[in-house]
Structure 1
Amino acid sequence: MRIIIVGCGKVGSSIASELNLEGHEISVVDIDHGAVDKLANSLDVLGIEGNGATYDVLVEAGAEYADLLIAATARDEINLYSCLMAKAAGVTHTIARVRNPEYTNDLYRIKEHLGLSMAINPEQTAANEISRLLRFSGALEIDSFSKGVVELIKVTVPQNSSIVGTALSKVDNLRGKVRICTVERGDEMFIPNGDFVINGGDRISVVAKPEIAAKFFKRISIAIGRSKDVILLGGGKVSFYLAKTLIKSGANVKIIEKNPERCNFLSEAIPGAVIIQGDCMDQSLLLSEGVEHADGIAALMDYDEENIIITMYLKGITKAKLITKVNNASFDPLLHDQNFECIIHPKSLTGEYIARYIRAMQNTGDSNVESLYRLNDDKVEALEFKVNAESRVTNVPIMSLNLKANLQIICINRGGKIILPQGTDVIKPEDTVIVLTMQKGLSKLEDIVKR
């Protein structure tokens, strides 16, 4: 697709990076010459210096031939106006970054006029991701497929688990309703077969319906219950959205925020939360507010360094699930070495969500990728294909397909019926198929077999 991205900040750069990996033809626009130059030099994209909300600049960026414009500047008004001008310049589809909840609530009134295909809020997206992690407090990562019907959940196997020392073929999978898809052991990654033996400390990814996964984890002694008492460090936008979601789910929420004006706003906007004015870096304050006894704590302050430091402190005093918001991806090697449990990158999440949406827009042909998740430090990809027609992989027993190495068909969704396939199962037209692979570059379902 030909795509124009207006805004070369952290969000725009993340989106450009994600879409560039998938081979789209990208132009980026920003009034900041340095930002345009930096992005154009680091990625294979065309850089245009100028105001992306003006007709002439959009035409220079190729709006007449573009399939999509993504407006990702720091200002909602500019993003919405850019979408309106893009439609006037001939762009069929537009996506806008919209952070103000007042605008978000009214977008349905003007969506058609703007040609707006999607509006995305990075802070809301991050809050949704954190909420899912707190729903399964023992989970390291959760990825959803088939519109949330199936989840891929990563957990650490404790030394006392009943599956330690057991081959996968001997693990009770609740009559085929659960499958262990990947195993991380140190720096090694495995897509295991039935003979693979689980060790304590392994990080396993399990595919199942959420309610089935909960039963399985309980049976194998993995504590994964919902976080009921949650403390949010920092009262910014992510905390605002997250607190509202958690309170609706029945959790007790406490927000610690330094700014008194922000505290007053939060007290009025979220009456169900306890708001504490104070410094989140004050260890005595944290202890007095019960961090030792909380089920979940999210470090959501404005500065990455503060979130990282306070998480390191909390690791030594609480058993709560710890979630750390980090915008700068260059910190990732440090966090990996320090065994941080859960890291959230709001800007990167935005790029990933938009990329998934664009894949769905491109759904033509026999089968296409509807969702793609890069897992385990990009060592593994989980792809969700929609089967639109007959092909050489349909109506053939899976055991008869000459599948590529390090690849598994882990799930088939057939009209809402979830199948964790065995060798005798077949793929049919209209199925949604989830494939887990260490092979890169799969673009259609037929790519899973050797040529």
Structure 2
Amino acid sequence: MKIVIVGAGEVGYHIAKSLYINNDIVIIDKDEEACDRARGLDIQVIQSNGANASVLGDVLNDAELLVAVTGSDEVNIVACMASKLIAGSTGSADDLKTVARVSNPDYIDQPVAKRTPIGIDVMICPELTLASEVAEVLSIPSAIDIEFFAEGKVEMLEFVAHEDNEMVNKKLVDIDLGDDCIVSAIFRKNQVIIPHGDDHIMKNDHVVLIGKSESMENIRSLFGETIRKRNKIMIIGGGVVGFYLANMIHMSNFDIKIVEKDRQRCDDIAVKLPHTLVLNSDGTDVEMLQDENIEDMDVVIAVTNSDEKNLLCALIAKQFGVKKVIARVDKPEYVSLFEMVGVDSAVSPRGATIKEVFKLTMGTSMQSITTLEGEKAEVVEYTITDRSKVAGKTLKKIDFPQGSIVSMVVRGNETIVPSGDYKVRPGDRVVMFSLQSALDDLKRMFK
């Protein structure tokens, strides 16, 4: 596939780095330093304005995907619109898909939207997506990630097995998860384990559980009760992500404090969220945190625009004994560092954009993809087509790549934890856990 990426920042560079081996990548950016870094990938790099119609016209020939991920919403929107017009002039508009990253709520009010009338096939708001993901995680004390598949019929939950968890030191075969749920993976330090019945869950393991959504509520008691009391939440950073998050949860069973350094921003938030306490201060001010009883917080969430500041805030919160700490991280190389030093969940706004781009590059059979543990693994949803190599075969006769496992299948309104005798049919929606090393083989298998 020929892919044109407008913007060579963290998101654009990461998309290029992930896809350049198997695709023809062209990246456009005005910044010389960003272009120099991108050239290290051995791809075509153009130092120019990515919204320039003349520049786009030179590179769009045979392109199947244009991804606009600069730091400017307007540049991203114009790049997509111009690309569609250019493709339309040659009769290939339907062959070119466009993706624009935007943050301004004037342009988008949901995590992912379609704006096809103006030439944008997928419009993504990473900040709103990130806030939505964190809001989901807040509903379960020990959860660090929650995702839904097959239009909500399948739920994936990643949680930390704390010392007092009744599953710790037990074999999986001895844990009653019912017939509608499966432990798909265990992350233990630097190990990724696709478990069998004889494997144990150990203290501090990160456990990935996939099951039928309506049955997961009954299973949650095994790894932490759902919230019944009013939990205390401190959000450090009142920017786009912090505001979106506070706005989503302010009507829920939470007492919320927002810490924001900019006075004008504090005033704006206070007007829009009158029942939320807004503190005009620095989230690294230890004296202020003590005055606000940070040790009594159930969750501290650091979502400023600085990775370094978020890490420092998270470490301070942990030092005061906060049980659950979530931190925003933009640089991919920092994710493992955050989790290594004790941050319970390192969340990235760039992930939403990358997931949507990956879906478009992996064919129409892919419906959803979720990255786990700093890209150590993925949970992927495929729809089986008549052309799929696995259609009509039983699971035990399919040579799945090493490092992958079928977790759930949705057939119509039925959600199934399949056995080896399950025969895959066209129309089935298959939810799979996969290591990064197996993704390309899965793509070919389900194509």
Q: TM-score, normalised by structure 1?
A: 0.87
Task: Say which is worse superposed, 157-166 or 280-289, in terms of deviation.
Answer: 157-166
Paired position in structure 2 for 1:13: 13
Aligned residue-pair number: 437
- Which of residues 40, 46, 49 in structure 1 aligns to 2:47? 49
1:376-395, Cα deviation, whole Å (9 max, x unpaired): 45443332211112766344
Task: Judge conservation of contact 1:385–1:445 (CA < 8 Å) in 2.
Answer: no
Paired position in structure 1 for 2:127: 123
Task: Judge conservation of contact 2:114–2:122 (CA < 8 Å) in 1.
Answer: no
**Alpha-carbon spacing, 1:81–1:131, altered in 2? closer, same or farther (3 Å):** same
Find out whether 1:94 has 2:98 as its counterpart: yes
- Which of residues 65, 88, 104 in structure 1 aligns to 2:108? 104
Paired position in structure 1 for 2:143: 139
1-structure distance, mates of 2:419, 2:120:
42
Find out whether 1:269 has 2:268 as its counterpart: no
- Which of residues 222, 238, 241 in structure 1 aligns to 2:241? 238
- Where do 1:35-434 residues align within 5 Å? 35-41=34-40, 43-60=41-58, 62-90=59-87, 91=93, 92-104=96-108, 111-174=115-178, 176-218=179-221, 220-223=222-225, 225=227, 228-359=231-362, 362-363=363-364, 368-389=365-386, 393-434=390-431
**Alpha-carbon spacing, 1:6–1:399, altered in 2? closer, same or farther (3 Å):** closer
* 3-state SS, counterpart of residue 102 of structure 1: coil
1:285-316, Cα deviation, whole Å (9 max, x unpaired): 22322322222211112322221112111112
Paired position in structure 1 for 2:31: 32
Report deviation, 1:341: 0.8
Task: Judge conservation of contact 2:113–2:122 (CA < 8 Å) in 1.
Answer: no
Question: Structure 2: which 5+ residue stretches go unaligned?
Answer: 88-92
Report deviation, 1:402: 4.8
**Alpha-carbon spacing, 1:404–1:416, altered in 2? closer, same or farther (3 Å):** same
Q: Could you tell me which amino acid in structure 1 is paired with residue 217 of structure 2? A: A
**Alpha-carbon spacing, 1:315–1:375, altered in 2? closer, same or farther (3 Å):** same
2-structure distance, mates of 1:239, 1:89:
38
Task: Judge conservation of contact 1:406–1:437 (CA < 8 Å) in 2.
Answer: yes
Report deviation, 1:259: 1.4
2-structure distance, mates of 1:147, 1:141:
17
1:43-72, Cα deviation, whole Å (9 max, x unpaired): 242111222222211122x21322222222
**Alpha-carbon spacing, 1:127–1:221, altered in 2? closer, same or farther (3 Å):** closer
Report deviation, 1:84: 2.0
Q: Could you tell me which amino acid in structure 1 is paired with residue 32 of structure 2? A: H
2-structure distance, mates of 1:172, 1:35:
52
* 3-state SS, counterpart of residue 240 of structure 1: helix
Report deviation, 1:85: 1.5
**Alpha-carbon spacing, 1:153–1:20, altered in 2? closer, same or farther (3 Å):** farther
Report deviation, 1:18: 3.7
* 3-state SS, counterpart of residue 119 of structure 1: strand
**Alpha-carbon spacing, 1:78–1:292, altered in 2? closer, same or farther (3 Å):** same
* 3-state SS, counterpart of residue 193 of structure 1: coil
Task: Judge conservation of contact 1:15–1:352 (CA < 8 Å) in 2.
Answer: no
Task: Judge conservation of contact 1:234–1:300 (CA < 8 Å) in 2.
Answer: yes
Q: Could you tell me which amino acid in structure 1 is paired with residue 191 of structure 2? A: E
2-structure distance, mates of 1:24, 1:147:
30
Report deviation, 1:82: 1.6
Paired position in structure 1 for 2:90: none
Task: Judge conservation of contact 1:84–1:113 (CA < 8 Å) in 2.
Answer: no
Q: Could you tell me which amino acid in structure 2 is paired with residue 208 of structure 1? A: G
**Alpha-carbon spacing, 1:99–1:332, altered in 2? closer, same or farther (3 Å):** closer
Task: Say which is worse superposed, 385-394 or 3-12, in terms of deviation.
Answer: 385-394
**Alpha-carbon spacing, 1:201–1:331, altered in 2? closer, same or farther (3 Å):** closer
Question: Structure 1: which 5+ residue stretches go unaligned?
Answer: none
Aligned-residue CA RMSD (Å): 2.9
Q: Could you tell me which amino acid in structure 2 is paired with residue 45 of structure 1? A: I
* 3-state SS, counterpart of residue 166 of structure 2: coil
Task: Judge conservation of contact 2:388–2:445 (CA < 8 Å) in 1.
Answer: no
Q: Could you tell me which amino acid in structure 1 is paired with residue 205 of structure 2? A: D
2-structure distance, mates of 1:18, 1:278:
39
Q: Could you tell me which amino acid in structure 1 is paired with residue 7 of structure 2? A: G
Task: Judge conservation of contact 1:18–1:351 (CA < 8 Å) in 2.
Answer: no
Task: Judge conservation of contact 1:138–1:224 (CA < 8 Å) in 2.
Answer: no
Paired position in structure 2 for 1:4: 4
Task: Say which is worse superposed, 190-199 or 439-448, in terms of deviation.
Answer: 439-448
Task: Judge conservation of contact 1:183–1:205 (CA < 8 Å) in 2.
Answer: yes
* 3-state SS, counterpart of residue 250 of structure 2: helix
Q: TM-score, normalised by structure 2?
A: 0.88
Task: Judge conservation of contact 2:335–2:374 (CA < 8 Å) in 1.
Answer: no
* 3-state SS, counterpart of residue 172 of structure 1: coil
Task: Judge conservation of contact 2:327–2:345 (CA < 8 Å) in 1.
Answer: yes
* 3-state SS, counterpart of residue 3 of structure 2: strand
Task: Judge conservation of contact 2:140–2:224 (CA < 8 Å) in 1.
Answer: no
